[in-house]
Structure formats: structure tokens, C-alpha cells
Amino acid sequence: MTEVRWYRQDKAEVARRLAAGEHPDLAATSALGPLDELIALHEELGAFAAITGVDTDRERAGIDDTLLLRTAATLPFVGNLGLRGQATVLLREPVLLLRLGWAPVQIREGDNGRYRHPDGRQAESLPCHPDTLRDALARIGEAAWLRAQQRGVQALFQRGLIRGKVYAIDGTGLDAAQRVVALVCVSGQRPLVVAWRYLEGSASEKGKEAAVSRALIEQALAAGGDTCIGLLLADALYADGPLLAWLKYAKGIDALVRLPADRLLYGDLQGLVRAGLVPWTEHTYRRTIQGHKERRTVALAAGGDLTSWDSFREAATTYGAPTATLWACLIRDVTPQLQPVEDASALVSTRVWDDPSHAFQAFRPRWVIEDDTFRELKEGWGLERYPWSERGTIVRARVTLTLLAFNTAQVYRTTAGGHLADKGIRRLRLLHRPELGVAPAVIYLQEMYGVFALEELLTILGMPPKESLLPHPRPKSAHSGVPP
């Protein structure tokens, strides 16, 4: 086992020894880039705290699991790569590793003495081998990841970063036997995932997601308060009759759900239209597809006091609403091409909408969960293509760490996120002094370290620049009681 040595801050002594010709142990820059800012914001938003102390099944001594988890939690920010590729990039950035908590000797020599190569530790395994990170993730169970998820999202609610009361629920497949079902706040500046489940095996099969919906909603209400959700957008797959009744009459939450054509309620609505009992009204709106804006017109026909969803009415009765009814509307394309009435789509809601165009517009943010959440997670974050492993325990870890990172990146892209990132950077920097400039050097030497401006470092080494761009410190005021 390599002995870990900690360095104390002693700038004056480091400068003296450099001037005397001693060679430093390690030199790094503390310049900041986007990855530094994301890591700083991740820390500021409590994501690292959320995964600290999760229960693991460690059976032997080795690198501290908290350190490994902080490192693994950073990997999704590195790029759209597999775990080995992301680890290779990250583990070659000593300044980032220092901020994550690695000691300089660990970065230089490795830590746990575990060599997978017959010739001993190789360069790719400094400070640890990528498989060491994978092994750490495999030691964590489902319940521990759920607690980490809850703590991470709770911190966003506490900071007021999850805004608006419109949420959408949907699922996406990672492969034939793995799915992710997520509840997303779609009414803020950027979508934020407030609860999710990784499902595998028979639990991931289509048609079973509605059983997960209630747990996700309860989790969100526990984190954001009983009134944080006002409207839920979903497909009927994720919102069956009993769930709609529970939302409306137990939680005071309205739902707006896409109604399949094979439902009795859909047939009743078509019958009302054919009989001329509900009129068609046209609505024109603008939508953007792949950056191109276009105008589109739809015809809407709505009806209320609908009762042909038996499971909804039966469940509503148990909540004291025996006369519960539903509102629904048909949606038929007019432009760019007229759609046959029998092919019209439909929405059903526990709320009575005074104008069907308002319901139509209210449902449109549901596409945010597909276009700006799942698609971005798959294409931009590599969640589907690079699951980090075929083992479900590690895929679950990958999902949790990636969604926590996704939320941080979403906050980063908001105005509030920029201010929080700046605040986090100030906390993460080894030393924050304006006189050091934008890229100070960190010099480690004989159990000590010091942070130097580049011009200052050149001066110590006997090669001072002819001109200086560093600001001169202001003299003390004569009224401060301190001599200038």
C-alpha cells in the first residue's frame, strides 16, 4: 500500500526552496474551464454530498469509496464515451483530481497497490485503474442509489431551482430489457428530472410503467411539497384510471393524458362528433422542428361530463367522488394536410378546459421529456450507447450519476446557474486571490504547496518579466489604523 502524504500550505518556504534550486514534486495550473465550472456547480448543488456515505458492500481495504464515487460522479461531464474512455480523460487532469480530493502522491503513484498488469502499475492506472471505479459502483445497491437520487433532487428544490408546476412522465428503453421511467419538471427554463427509476427484466416491459408513476409522484411531492405539482402530462400507458383518480381527488393534481384510439372513451367522443353534438374549432400555432419554424393548424372538438372510463370512476368513488367525470377532446390536423376524422388523436383530462386550444397548448411541453431530455441523455450523454457495463448494478449507477449530472448541466445553462457556478468555483479553488491572475501555478514541494502568479514564479526562478500585468495592491488607508 502506497503511503498517502498530505501537503500543507506554506508559500514562503516553497518560494525560498525554489529560489535555492530545489525541484518541486509536482506542478499544476489552477486555471478554470467549463469542466471545472461544472464540477464546482455539482459540488455547490449538493450532488457530491448526495452520494457521500452511500452503503457499499466493501470486502477489502482499498481506495476510499467516497473518493471513488466523487470521481465516478464527474465522469458524465467528460464526454460521450464509455467508462474507460471517460476515466482516461479525467485521470489525466491532475488539477481536477486535486479538487475531487485525490492527494498528489495518489495522482503520481496510485494508491491501492492493486496491479492488473504483470509488470506492475501502468500509466493508465494512475491514480486508479478504470476497473477500480467500475468495481466501486458494483458494490452499491438499488436502495442506496435511490437515497442518493432523493438527496440530490431535494437540494434543487431547496434552492428554488425547480420552478413551475407542470410535470411530464415518460419512459425510454436502453435496450430490450432495460428502461428508465422519469418524472420531469417541464415548466422551468430548462427541464429537470425530479424522480426516476431504472427497470430491468420483466419490470421493464411495456405496459407496466403505470405501476411506477405513483411512486415517482410521491417522491417528488416529498421533496418539493404537497403543492409542487399542478398538472401532470402523460400517455395513458403511464396514467391509468386509478392513478388519475388518486391524483385528482387525493392529491389535488390535474392530469392531461393522451388517449389511445382503442379506449371506449375515445369511441364515445367520436360518436359525439359524428352526431354533431360537439363542434369543431380551429387553432393555429407555431412549432419549431430542427430549428425551423412553421405554422400549423389543427381542428379541436371537446366534450365534458364523460363517464366511460370505469376504473377511473370506481377509484374516484373510494375518494368520495362517486359522480366524477372526465373531459376529452379530439385533435385533427388541418394543415399541412387534412387528417381524416377517424385518425384524429385525443386528450383526456380530469380538468374541465374552457377552451380546447388551451388544453392542446398545455400538452405540448410533454414533448420536452422526449426531445430535450431523453434524446439529449442518449445522444449527448451516451446513456444508451455507453452503459459502462452489461451488469444491471452498474447500469443503474450510470443512470443515477448521469441524471444528477444532467440536472447540474441544465442549471448551469440558466442565469441562476452561472452565478452558482461562480460561487462554487470560489469554494473549490485552492487559493482565491485576485493578485494571482487567471491561471496561477500550484507548486508542491517537500510536504508543502504554494500558489503563485506566473510572473511571480518567473521572478523567483531568476527570470522576471520586463513588464507586469498584475494589479498593484492598494495602500492601506490612513484612517484604517494600519500603517500603509
Q: What one-character-per-residue DSSP string does 181-207 give?
A: EEEEE-SSSS-EEEEEEEEEGGGGSTT
pLDDT of residue 477: 47
Same domain, yes or no, for 108 and 186?
no
> What would the mean pLDDT of 379-394 be, rounded to a whole number?
92
Same domain, yes or no, for 230 and 324?
yes
> What would the mean pLDDT of 180-189 be, rounded to a whole number?
95
- Assigned domain for 4 exists: no
Same domain, yes or no, for 203 and 269?
yes
Which of 87-91, 437-441, 465-469 has the weakest average pLDDT? 437-441
pLDDT of residue 432: 36
Strand partners, 192: 185
Rounded distance, CA 91 to CA 87, Å? 6
Rounded distance, CA 220 to CA 165, Å? 11
Mean pLDDT over all residues of the chain? 84
Same domain, yes or no, for 185 and 326?
yes
pLDDT of residue 296: 92
pLDDT of residue 484: 38
> What would the mean pLDDT of 35-43 be, rounded to a whole number?
83
C-alpha cell at 428: 473549490
pLDDT of residue 203: 56
Same domain, yes or no, for 338 and 207?
yes
Same domain, yes or no, for 352 and 238?
yes
- Assigned domain for 481 exists: no
- Assigned domain for 193 exists: yes
Rounded distance, CA 225 to CA 208, Å? 27
Give the full edge-to-edge strand order of the sheet including 448-452.
8-9, 448-452, 441-445, 26-29
Query: By residue range, what is the domain housing residue 464?
Result: 10-30+439-473
- Assigned domain for 110 exists: yes
Rounded distance, CA 455 to CA 20, Å? 18
Burial (0-12, 13-18, 19+ Cβ within 10 Å), 87? buried
pLDDT of residue 434: 44
Cα torsion through 314, 320, 322, 325, rounded to 10: -90
pLDDT of residue 27: 73
- The alpha helices in 210-325, defined as continuous H runs, are 210-224, 241-250, 264-274, 310-318
pLDDT of residue 202: 66
Question: What pLDDT band is residue 112 in, cutting at 50, 70 and 90?
Answer: low
- Assigned domain for 395 exists: no
Same domain, yes or no, for 275 and 351?
yes
pLDDT > 90: what percent of the chain?
55
- Assigned domain for 325 exists: yes
- Assigned domain for 398 exists: no
* pTM confidence score: 0.81
Which of 133-142, 227-236, 243-252 has the weakest average pLDDT? 133-142
Mean pLDDT: which of 24-28, 173-177, 354-358, 423-427 is highest? 354-358
Burial (0-12, 13-18, 19+ Cβ within 10 Å), 296? middle
Same domain, yes or no, for 447 and 424?
no
In this predicted structure, the answer to whether residue 436 has a pLDDT above a threshold of 80 is no
The amino acid at 470: L
Name residues whose C-beta falls within 8 Å of residue 323's C-beta, 6 or more positions apart in sequence.
none
Same domain, yes or no, for 292 and 177?
yes
Same domain, yes or no, for 52 and 19?
no
Which of 362-376, 384-398, 413-427 has the weakest average pLDDT? 413-427
In this predicted structure, the answer to whether residue 26 has a pLDDT above a threshold of 90 is no
Tell me if the bond preceding 387 is cis, omega within 30° of 0.
Answer: no
Same domain, yes or no, for 39 and 137?
yes
Give the full edge-to-edge strand order of the sheet including 231-235.
192-200, 178-185, 166-175, 231-235, 254-258, 345-349, 326-335, 292-306, 281-289
Same domain, yes or no, for 24 and 120?
no
pLDDT of residue 24: 84
- Assigned domain for 354 exists: yes
In total, how many domains does the chain have?
3
C-alpha cell at 320: 368520495
